[in-house]
Amino acid sequence: MARLPGVSTPDQVVCHVDMDCFYAACERLKEPGLAGEPVVVGMGYESGEAHGAVATASYEAREYGVESAMAISEALELLPRRETAEDDEDTGVYRPVDMAFYESVSADVKAVLDDDAETVRNVSIDEAYLDLGDLAWEEAREFGRELKADIEDEAGVVASVGIAPNMTTAKLASDADKPDGLVVVEPNEVRDFLAPMAVEDLHGVGPVTARELRKMDFETAGDIAAAEETVLVDAFGERGRDLHAQARGEDDREVEPKGRPKSLSSESAFVEATADPETKREKVRGLAEEVADRATAKGALYRTIGIKVVEPPFDVNTRARSLSGPVDDPDLVEAVALDLLSEFDDDRVRKLGVRVSNLSFDDREQASLDAWEDSDDEVETDHDIRKRHRERTRGGQVDLSEFQ
């Protein structure tokens, strides 16, 4: 999908992306046999552990009443842990939190989002807002379909997507048809979309607040929207003002990136896993060029260059090399990535990725590695890698024999 420009205007088209039961979905990537099974991700169910909580419950587990943040002891009462394959079907599969793996999959998702929109605000490991610029509303649904397909193809997980004129409504839209949902709310549809929504579906409304609202005869967002703002403010303070605005679909915030990125990456999967060394090298060359171009466009220098190699079914391997100083050097990115890839020359691979990290946004005059050549031996070694790569690149191919 072609990347959309970011804009800063009051007439926004905002997309909210929310991964469905993300931790459980990641566990299913590691164990495809868990598809359709009740999966609970959390801590405290292991032998000898007395305390813990549910981090994520799949939709199948939620049918038994298991919810996120629930005490693990309560979850085990509702859905006993499956000990063997022959256990009763009314049991669930419990897995510990594997944050390193989840962050790896999240990076795959973020790479898709960065490719599809210029302005992205990542708000958590499994949630982000996109500014879709001047995208025509009649094109919004097709954009959402393509975005969901790109995420599933590249990261292997399913997202629910909401598209609306502002951030608050977009988030409510992404929640409205989970899982695997796509809801588009055009500007003239916002009030009608929100009106029938139960008060507890609004952001920030927990059980206590919902009870208080119902005591005031507020059952739906439409009821709140029709009320005088002062009534809500008198009852809930500034939170009441926010609730009134939310129910009316009023939100003038712009989608802004949350801080500068810590890394930039690009990843791509093969249609079928391959062990062919040249096919893998060709993929890495393209990814290295894309990542280096993005770093240059963002004014970023990098101190670390790395690769990700995913072997079937989903065995993730990462390798990285740290440089002696921050650089902007596309040839070096390619050379180091190919050097790191050589370890996997004989392995079947389903996906490859290239990443630059330890970013800095200092004076661009430091962007050439040549400035570091005489500082110490380690820098000279990095420079030699780049130099050998340039000398031995012929017709898009590179001889890595000297790197072994």
H runs (alpha helix) in 195-325: 207-215, 221-226, 229-236, 238-247, 277-297
User: How high is the mean pLDDT of the chain?
Assistant: 84
Dihedral of CA atoms 49, 54, 59, 65 in degrees, nearest 10, equals 80
Predicted pLDDT at 370: 43
Q: Which helix (H) or strand (E) holds 54?
A: strand 53-57
Predicted pLDDT at 356: 92
Predicted pLDDT at 47: 63
Q: Which residues of the chain have pLDDT under 50?
A: 2-10, 363-404
Q: Is the separation of the CB atoms in 387 and 332 below 8 Å?
A: no
Please check whether the domain covering 31-97 is classified as CATH 3.40.1170.60: yes
DSSP-based helix, strand, coil % in the chain, nearest 5: 45, 25, 35
Q: What six digits make up the tokens of 3?
A: 């990347």
Q: Check 27, 60, 127, 254 and give the catalytic one.
A: 127
Q: What is the side-by-side order of every strand in the sheet holding 14-19?
A: 119-124, 127-131, 14-19, 159-164, 182-184
Non-local (6+) Cβ contacts of 104 within 8 A are: 308, 316, 318
Residue 339: HSE in the Cβ half-sphere, 13 Å Cα cutoff: 19
Predicted pLDDT at 8: 38
Pairing of strands 182-184, 159-164: parallel
Show me where the domains of the chain are located. 31-97, 195-247, 263-403
Cis peptide before 96 (omega within 30 of 0): no
Predicted pLDDT at 115: 81
At the second CATH level, the architecture of 263-403 is 2-Layer Sandwich (3.30)
Distance between CA atoms of 303 and 372, rounded to whole angstroms?
12
Give the number of other CB atoms < 10 A from CB of residue 119: 21
User: DSSP letter string over 113-152?
Assistant: HHHHBSEEEEEETTEEEEE-TT--HHHHHHHHHHHHHHHH
At the second CATH level, the architecture of 195-247 is Orthogonal Bundle (1.10)
Predicted pLDDT at 287: 93
Q: Which helix (H) or strand (E) holds 184?
A: strand 182-184
Query: How many Å separate Cα 64 from the centre of its chain?
Result: 28
Predicted pLDDT at 364: 45
Q: Is the separation of the CB atoms in 156 and 316 below 8 Å?
A: no
Told to judge if 74 belongs to the known catalytic residues of this protein, a careful annotator would answer no
H runs (alpha helix) in 198-276: 207-215, 221-226, 229-236, 238-247
